[in-house]
Amino acid sequence: MHARRTARWIMAAALLSGASGCGSDDPSAPRPAVYAAYVVLGAGADGSTIAIARAVVEPGDPVCPTLRRGDRSIAMRLRGNPFGFPVNVCEARVQFERRYRLSWTGQALPIARRDPSRLAVLGDTGCKSANCAAGVPAAPFATIAAGIAARQPAPQLVIHVGDYDYRGTASSVPLRGGGSLPVYDAGDNTAHDPQCQLDQPYVSQNADYSLNPDSWDYWSEDFFQPAAPLLAAAPWVMVRGNHELCSRAGPGWFYFLDPNVDASLGGRGELACPAQGGDAPLPPPVLPYLLFAPPYLLDLGRLQLAVVDSANACDSFAPQRTVDIYTEQLATVLGAAKPEVPLWLATHRPVWGVQDESGTPINATLQAAWAAVDSTAPVALMLAGHIHTFQSLTFDPATPPRPPQVIVGSSGVALGTAPTGSFSTTIDGGMAEVLGLEEFSSLQVALDRGDDWNATLIDPSGAELASCATANLPGPLCRE
């Protein structure tokens, strides 16, 4: 085990031994630094929607701050840290419609609303090493996040559709013995493999042979530093992207952002990546080394939001083993929805989309799963990222019925080469009206009662690029 990994595990052992709760909160005691504070929404063990406050703090004594509301205090507990990150993540369940402050800093956390009417949607927010130097917060994501936080009226909920860490997740793994190997990425690095790497040796940057394991530095620079003003402005719904696979930045995802929490907080239990390998790539099949996080349904008052973790859903092919997993996940979460409340589905990889200038459609795995569940499932809108651009897709009602879809993969990472402008194309046997825009952007959504909503796509300066509204249907949902 190389020195960097050894140091991490020594740190983990020191933090976890006898440090399961909070130390003294004596106001005269020195305070460890607070690197981030935020609120995430998730599902409780009973399926209810819960809000979790988190703080990423420097190891020290006291171990965790407390949360304060008036003269009341709530103890925060440590999340498990099996990968040995050199920071503590402290968390506590909080009530909706209540304001809390961190005891160490007095910092106010955003209020979790049961019925938010103003949403911000963004995705693919990190920065590749070719575009951002080490030690520099991700750009232009920092500008985008600050701009959204400063808008009035302010968003009441942020939905991130995945891919947070790019500088820490190269497509190949540098090896201790020299050379490199392509990392497992659900087929993205082996486009001609019909089994999407399921029957190849499993290569992970978090195995012992890797010289580039997941790290706090990458997470801090690509996400926490640039996102700070927006983390302070509103709670977040976090969707896992393929850059957060266990073979990439998955350890950090499950430590910092995954909404699953311990049963003591009313959760379904914390999740963590399986062991990723020792001195050589793990032999196939690779499914035991992957993690398919369970889907969940959020009750947001006037809206239901189903979240499906599509990190392992291969774009180009549909191996039956993963199609079966996603079929079950979609059936479970869609079957739990209330028919009388509008339902949106958020996932990283889009079920339908135009991936590049050649018009290559995606996602084969999710399309097969969707067809196996029910093509008439009552989803009013799909949100996704993954394609590094903005796209809206509105399907002809005369073709197989499908909900409109909005792809917001344009919030920071270098933009891709998907087709732009307004055009029509056939995707998965259905005719779609598409609007594509190759501009850095985020989507600001205003929800009305019932099925009606409208949204504005804005660039980093706040200028309007496009507008979307249910009033546009059955024509194109979004228009320049």
pLDDT digits (tens, 9 = 90+) for 24-78: 455 566 799 999 999 999 999 999 999 999 999 999 999 999 999 998 999 999 9
Q: Quick one: DSSP state of residue 32?
A: -
- Average pLDDT for residues 432-446, to the nearest whole number? 97
| Strands 442-447 and 118-122, sheet pairing | antiparallel
pTM to 2 decimals?
Answer: 0.94
Q: What is the pLDDT of residue 253?
A: 98
Order the strands of the 34-43 sheet from edge to edge.
77-78, 88-94, 49-57, 34-43, 236-238, 157-160, 118-122, 442-447, 453-458, 464-469, 478-479
Question: Would you state the pLDDT for residue 377?
Answer: 67
Question: Quick check: 254 and 248 in contact, CB under 8 A?
Answer: no
Contact 213, 5 (CB under 8 A): yes
pLDDT of residue 115 exceeding 80, the answer is yes
Per-residue pLDDT, averaged over 266-281, amounts to: 96
Amino acid making up residue 275: A
Cα–Cα distance between 342 and 116 in angstroms, integer?
14
Write the single-letter amino acid at 122: L
Mean pLDDT over residues 245-274, rounded?
A: 98
Average pLDDT on 206-227 reads 97
Q: Which residue has the tokens 């067809």?
A: 371
Is residue 250 within a helix (H) or strand (E), and if so which, with residue range?
A: helix 250-252
CA-based radius of gyration for the chain: 21
Residue type, 290: L
260 and 240 in contact (C-beta within 8 Å)? no
Under DSSP, the state recorded for 14 is: H
* Helix, strand, coil percentages, rounded to 5, for the chain: 20, 25, 55
